[in-house]
Each structure stands twice: as structure tokens, then as C-alpha cells.
Amino acid sequence: MIELRGTEKEINPATLKALWTSGLMPSLTVKGRGLFGKVMPSGYERWSVWPEAIGESEIPKGLKFVGELELSEVKSQVDDLISEVESVKSELKQCKKGISTILNELREKPIIKQTELFEIDETLEVIRPIPVVIKEYSDEVIATFPEIEAFGAGLCEAEAIIDLKNEIRKIFFELERVGDNELGKLPLSWKRVLLKVVKKIGDSQ
């Protein structure tokens, strides 16, 4: 019988395993828990080994200490894995946040294209094609005549252009009705621009 009482902290698991597999230490109990269905003799409540021959095939089942060792290794690997998963989750969270930010920025950044207006309505004749900038947002379209800061809005390009034409007409008549002395620098400039691109052919209602 080999007693290892009180030396558990110094036991090298590899040594124990070697003793075991060579048959020098045929049975083992750890921390009061019996192995191989044997009743532990009194006085061996701590680390102890007593002579109960076992077959080598029983070792994996009975080798509690080795089992605990493997469990601790597995636990350590699981802990590492959990740590890695947490790290990946954290990175994923950052990615989601980044994607969300990019999507929001994209929503605010329209696709821009240009076109020209050749017709307004029965009250205004287009003298020169009116340059229009179309801004396509994810859920609306804005058509602008930047030089006079007019814009039309709609769910599609056609709606936005119709709205812009209405705005151009409104602005033309709003500015036409007031004297230049009532207009600031910009509205005065808009009026001049409008007079260059459209001609009044009817009255606004």
C-alpha cells in the first residue's frame, strides 16, 4: 500500500499515471471518493492508494485523478473557447454597430444624377433648358434647380420633377410680384436667373 497522504500538492500527475499503468499502484481514491466500487479503508480519507489489482482496461474509468486532470484540461479549453467566443461576439457587435452607422450614412447620401427641364406649364415657357439635379434617397427623390435653390420632392423622379416645376412657377411669380428693393442678394439673383430661363406666357392662378 502506498500512502500519499498530505502530499497531494506535490504529486506529479504524470508520475501517478506511470505508477498506475506499470501496475505499481493498482488502485486509487481521491479526496475520499472511492474508485472501482471499493470501500475506502478508514484512515485513507485523503490521498491514498491501496492494493486492489485492476486490469488496465479499468484504469480509464477508475483513474479519478487522471479524469479530473483531463476535466481540468477540458475546462481550461472550454474557458479559452468561451473567451474566444466572447471576443468574437464583441467584434460582431462592433461590426453590427459599424454597419448600422454606414447604413445611416448611406441613407443620407443620395445617388445624384442630372437632367434638364424643357417645359414648366401653360404659364411659363422655358427659354433655355433648366439644369436639374436629381437626388435619389432610399425612400424619396429630390429634384433641385440649384441656382435658384428650388427643390421638388416625391416618391419617385417623376413626382419630384412635377413638384419642382410647381416650385419654379411659384417662385417666379412670388419674385415677379415684388420690387427688387425688397429682395435680398440671393432672391434678386434667383429672379435674374429665372428671367433668363423662362418667359411668362400666362398668369398664375
**Which residues here bind other proteins, judged by CB under 8 A?**
104-105, 107-108, 110, 135, 137-142, 144, 149-151, 153-155, 159, 163, 167, 170-171, 174, 178, 181-187
Which residue, 121 or 140, is less far from other proteins as judged by CB?
140
Tell me which residue of 114, 195, 122 sits closest to 187, measured CA to CA.
195
Which residue, 52 or 136, is less far from other proteins as judged by CB?
136
Minimum separation from the CB atom of position 122 to other proteins (A) = 20
Which residue, 38 or 107, is less far from other proteins as judged by CB?
107
| Cα 197 from chain centroid (whole Å) | 49
Which residue, 130 or 171, is less far from other proteins as judged by CB?
171
Minimum separation from the CB atom of position 169 to other proteins (A) = 13
Minimum separation from the CB atom of position 201 to other proteins (A) = 23
Tell me which residue of 196, 198, 189 sits closest to 168, measured CA to CA.
198
Minimum separation from the CB atom of position 187 to other proteins (A) = 5
The number of beta carbons lying within 10 Å of the beta carbon of residue 3 is: 13
Full DSSP string of 108-134: HS-EEEEEEE---BTTEEESSPEEEEE
Using an 8 Å Cβ cutoff, are 135 and 156 in contact?
A: no
Backbone angles phi, psi at 183, to 5 degrees: -105, 135
Query: Rounded CA gap, 41 and 18, in Å?
Result: 24
Which residue, 10 or 105, is less far from other proteins as judged by CB?
105
